């Protein structure tokens, strides 16, 4: 059995990046750039009005209105001389000769003459060509993760496709004769399956697709299901069947399939019977069947592996210090991840911490971490917390 630190280190040193693909911007949210991007144009591509108003030439308070320029109009034939102005709108080309744009709120207009009620500073309300970025300047560096703003900015530069590390193909293998699907009638000895719904929803919220295979507690069926999942995917996550019970067949199946075991069992609670292995450099996880344990292990180990496969520089959950709001006592010698609520630097560990109880995750936004060598933290004491990620 290894420590949490050792488990993290083994994953960090083992998980490899996927291949590079050209992807459309709309499919690249949360992807990691595999090459630098340089701007193909100036942004803005021309001197641009920042508001509706009047482009003016000179420092007078009265101007002769010469023309009108709407957004999208060309203005090659419009040149302002001293004392002249044009009606202009937000986003329009500022014509040659213009020294500023006067907001329409300070302008009085009478036929072809406008008067300013206030003076306007030179260059006011003009977005200069290349002000945001100049042609050939570096826009985003290799390794940058594409968020909504990055995708919008690249689109505004006319870029439609980018080189990124591919998103992994992921499948979940869910084991257990006791499991039935939500919506079916609950009969004695059965429970509703939730791990697939939980983990697939997390993946979907992060822009990742996954498939799921349900398999009964049967060795041959388990082995065939896992073998098929490995052959068709980049990452396989099994839930349940990894302990040492008479009907836990996942570990045996993985061994028979020549999966290289990197580690099995971590000195932590919940999630001690966690398995991580490789076959043809494909990461394979077997998570405990208990819902809270499965989700804890997913956040702490599976999601970081996915991030590394996608080229992320920082893969593991953000860790920070927090002040505990109450006394807390940990039983045993295992490190402990407890669902908790972090607010303004103070953390409160929630009730119902059993590995089977998923409800304690509902209001949690972090996992409070109590190391192996600590058993008691007093109110006001400092502990580490891992933030529950809300995105890749």
pLDDT classification of 248: cutoffs 50, 70, 90: confident
pLDDT classification of 52: cutoffs 50, 70, 90: very high
Return the pLDDT at 247. 58
Find how far residue 215's CA is from the centre of its chain. 31
Average pLDDT of 23-52? 96
Average pLDDT of 154-181? 93
Judge whether residue 246 has pLDDT over 70. no
Average pLDDT of 210-234? 94
Q: Are residues 221 and 262 in the same domain?
A: yes
Q: Are residues 72 and 85 in the same domain?
A: yes
Residues 41 and 129: their CA atoms lie apart, in Å, by 10
- Exposed/middle/buried for 25, CB within 10 Å: 0-12, 13-18, 19+? middle
Distance in Å from the first CA to the final CA of the chain: 29
- In this structure, the chain runs to a length of 392
Tell which residue, 218, 227, 220, 216, has the closest CA to residue 171.
227
Judge whether residue 187 has pLDDT over 90. no
Q: Which residues pair with 174 in a beta bridge?
A: 214, 239
Average pLDDT of 172-176? 92
From 250, 285, 309, the end of a domain falls on 309
Work out the mean pLDDT of the chain and round it to a whole number: 94
CATH of the domain at 331: 2.40.340.10
Return the pLDDT at 348. 97
Residues 175, 249 contacting (CB under 8 angstroms) = yes
Q: Are residues 110 and 209 in the same domain?
A: no
| Helix/strand/coil for 352 | coil
Determine the structural domain holding residue 83 and report its residue range.
48-127
Q: Are residues 186 and 287 in the same domain?
A: yes
Residues 172 and 4: their CA atoms lie apart, in Å, by 23
| Helix/strand/coil for 285 | strand
CATH of the domain at 108: 2.170.190.11
Judge whether residue 51 has pLDDT over 90. yes
Note the maximum CA span of the chain: 93
pLDDT classification of 192: cutoffs 50, 70, 90: confident
Q: Are residues 148 and 210 in the same domain?
A: no
Cis-peptide into 233, omega within 30 deg: no
Give 255-307 pLDDT, tens digit per residue: 999 999 999 999 999 999 999 999 999 999 999 989 999 999 999 999 999 99
CATH of the domain at 188: 3.40.980.10
Q: Are residues 265 and 224 in the same domain?
A: yes
pLDDT above 90 coverage of the chain, percent: 85
Q: Are residues 271 and 302 in the same domain?
A: yes
Judge whether residue 103 has pLDDT over 70. yes
Return the pLDDT at 155. 97
Give 373-390 pLDDT, tens digit per residue: 899 999 999 999 999 998
Q: Are residues 175 and 266 in the same domain?
A: yes
Q: Which residues does 359 contact at the CB level (< 8 Å), separation at least 6?
A: 352
Q: Are residues 182 and 213 in the same domain?
A: yes
pLDDT classification of 73: cutoffs 50, 70, 90: very high
pLDDT above 70 coverage of the chain, percent: 99
Q: Are residues 220 and 183 in the same domain?
A: yes
Q: Pairing between strand 210-215 and 170-175? A: parallel
Residues 309 and 303: their CA atoms lie apart, in Å, by 10
Average pLDDT of 185-189? 88
Tell me whether residue 392 is in a domain. no
Is pTM beyond 0.85? Reply is yes
Return the pLDDT at 184. 85
* Number of structural domains in the chain: 4
């Amino acid at each position: 059995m290894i420590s949490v630190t050792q488990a993290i280190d083994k994953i960090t040193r083992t998980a490899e990046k996927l291949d590079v693909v050209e992807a459309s911007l709309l499919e690249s949210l949360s992807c990691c750039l595999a090459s630098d991007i340089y701007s193909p144009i100036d942004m803005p591509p021309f001197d641009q009005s920042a508001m509706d108003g009047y482009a003016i030439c000179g420092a007078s308070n009265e101007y002769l209105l010469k023309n009108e320029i709407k957004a999208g109009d060309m203005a090659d034939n419009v040149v302002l001389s001293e004392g002249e102005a044009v009606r202009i709108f937000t986003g329009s080309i500022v014509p040659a000769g213009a020294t500023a744009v006067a907001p329409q709120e300070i302008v009085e207009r009478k036929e072809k003459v406008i008067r300013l009620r206030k003076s306007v500073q030179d260059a006011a309300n003009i977005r200069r060509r290349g002000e945001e970025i100049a042609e050939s300047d570096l826009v985003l560096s290799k390794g940058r993760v594409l968020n909504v703003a990055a995708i919008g900015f690249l689109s505004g530069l006319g870029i439609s496709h980018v080189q990124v590390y591919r998103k992994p193909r992921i499948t979940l293998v869910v084991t257990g004769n006791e499991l039935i699907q939500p919506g079916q009638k609950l009969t004695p000895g059965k429970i509703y399956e939730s791990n697939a719904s939980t983990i697939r929803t997390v993946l979907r919220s992060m822009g990742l697709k996954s498939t799921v295979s349900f398999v009964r507690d049967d060795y041959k069926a388990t082995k065939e299901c896992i073998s098929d999942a490995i052959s068709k995917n980049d990452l396989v996550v099994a839930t349940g069947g990894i302990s040492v019970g008479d009907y836990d067949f996942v570990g045996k199946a993985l061994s028979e399939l020549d999966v290289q075991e990197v580690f099995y069992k971590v000195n932590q609670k919940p999630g001690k019977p966690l398995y991580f292995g490789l076959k043809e450099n494909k990461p394979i996880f077997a998570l405990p069947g208990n819902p809270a344990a499965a989700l804890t292990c997913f956040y702490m180990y599976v999601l970081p592996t996915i991030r590394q496969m996608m080229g992320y520089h920082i893969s593991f959950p953000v860790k920070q210090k927090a002040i505990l709001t109450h006394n807390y006592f940990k039983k045993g010698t295992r490190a402990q991840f407890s669902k908790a609520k972090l607010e303004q630097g103070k953390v409160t560990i929630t009730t119902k911490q059993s590995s089977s109880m998923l409800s304690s995750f509902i209001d949690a936004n972090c996992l409070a971490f109590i190391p192996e060598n600590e058993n008691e933290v007093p109110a006001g004491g400092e502990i580490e917390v891992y933030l529950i990620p809300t995105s890749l």
